[in-house]
Amino acid sequence: MGAMTASARRRVLLAAPRGYCAGVDRAVITVEKALEQYGAPVYVRKQIVHNKYVVQTLEKKGAIFVDETEEVPEGAIVIFSAHGVAPVVHDEAAQRRLASIDATCPLVTKVHKEAKRFASEDYDILLIGHEGHEEVIGTMGEAPERIHLVDGPEDVAGLSVRDENKLVWLSQTTLSVDETMETVDKLKERFPALVSPPSDDICYATQNRQVAVKQLGADADLVVVVGSKNSSNSVRLVEVALQAGARDAHLVDFADEIDEAWLEGVSTVGVTSGASVPEILVEGVLEWLAKRGYEDVEVVTSARESIQFSLPKELRRDLRAEAQAGTTTASSPSGDA
């Protein structure tokens, strides 16, 4: 540790809101409830949420994570992740007579519905998002021949559309607001008739966590964001912290990934966590910091969140019995599972 002046009080600014959003909470509880209700194994297509610890914890309880629907044995239960899936995935599940539980976040479902509606009205859709992200793949699957991916402002120049007067933009829910608007502004320059979606697609939780980290970033020498590398909203929080004036910012899954060298000459540490991060991981980081003299924790609250989503309706039925009987979907052939 570098020499620190006596006046430089070591403190932690803890962001609120942080951590679990309603969609993640719902998805994780869905897997836990399915395991309770139907017993292990329950299969989950892709990571239920983008967090290492959550996935490991659910695996210990009997969840089996697979990349593709075809890896799930016929007649088994499969849960679709919070990021949503393309319609073709539902078809694959029906063909394999899988009992599917859809844990897609309702805010992602809203974007899917908008994509379907605009495609049916013969619009070309410009989807702002990151190539290869599961949410983007799922949304694009709703109308692949109508949706063009725009992965940042630099993609705008190369776009070709059928009719510049029938264009709408939608976006991945976990982007940063600033990043999205920069792309939208660029799109509007090129396509003045571009229609905006009826409501903002950036999810309330992504937005709130970014506003909170902006407040921290302005006052922190170092910002520690708890989250996984494949979590889009967590990665954005590091970027937003740096843009807001933090001298340094890092993403860690666990406290033991923090490098003591980061604390060199640091009096104020900002701490926050992505929307798929359980609070136990944040507590681990606070304990780690406290052991190194950062015991004074001040909560910086920028919003209050009270939103909750009800659990998927499939959890209210005996899916396993239906799967065995081959009655979970209208198209299921009956017979032995």
Q: What is the pLDDT of residues 81-93, one digit of tens each?
A: 999 999 999 999 9
Taking alpha carbons only, the member of 161, 126, 118 closest to residue 147 is: 126
Asked if the model's pLDDT at residue 335 lies above 50, the reply is no
Q: Are 247 and 274 in contact (CB under 8 A)?
A: no
HSE of 241, CA atoms in CB hemisphere, 13 A: 31
C-alpha distance from residue 69 to each of 125, 144, 332 (Å) = 27, 20, 16
How far is Cα 28 from Cα 49, in angstroms, rounded to an integer? 8
What's the pLDDT band for 6 if we cut at 50, 70, 90? very low
The residue with greater pLDDT, 316 or 168, is 168
What's the pLDDT band for 319 if we cut at 50, 70, 90? low
pLDDT for 326: 67
Asked if the model's pLDDT at residue 323 lies above 80, the reply is no
Average pLDDT, the chain: 92
pLDDT for 317: 74
Q: What is the mean pLDDT of residues 36-47?
A: 95
How far is Cα 229 from Cα 226, in angstroms, rounded to an integer? 10
pLDDT digits (tens, 9 = 90+) for 187-204: 999 999 999 998 778 899
Mind telling me the catalytic residues?
A: 135
How far is Cα 27 from Cα 49, in angstroms, rounded to an integer? 7
- Amino acid (1-letter code) at residue 94: A
Taking alpha carbons only, the member of 81, 26, 66 closest to residue 313 is: 26
Asked if the model's pLDDT at residue 205 lies above 70, the reply is yes
What's the pLDDT band for 108 if we cut at 50, 70, 90? very high
Asked if the model's pLDDT at residue 148 lies above 80, the reply is yes
pLDDT for 151: 97
Q: What is the mean pLDDT of residues 203-229?
A: 96
Exposed (0-12), middle (13-18) or buried (19+): which is 209, by Cβ within 10 Å? Answer: buried
What's the pLDDT band for 320 if we cut at 50, 70, 90? low
pLDDT for 324: 66
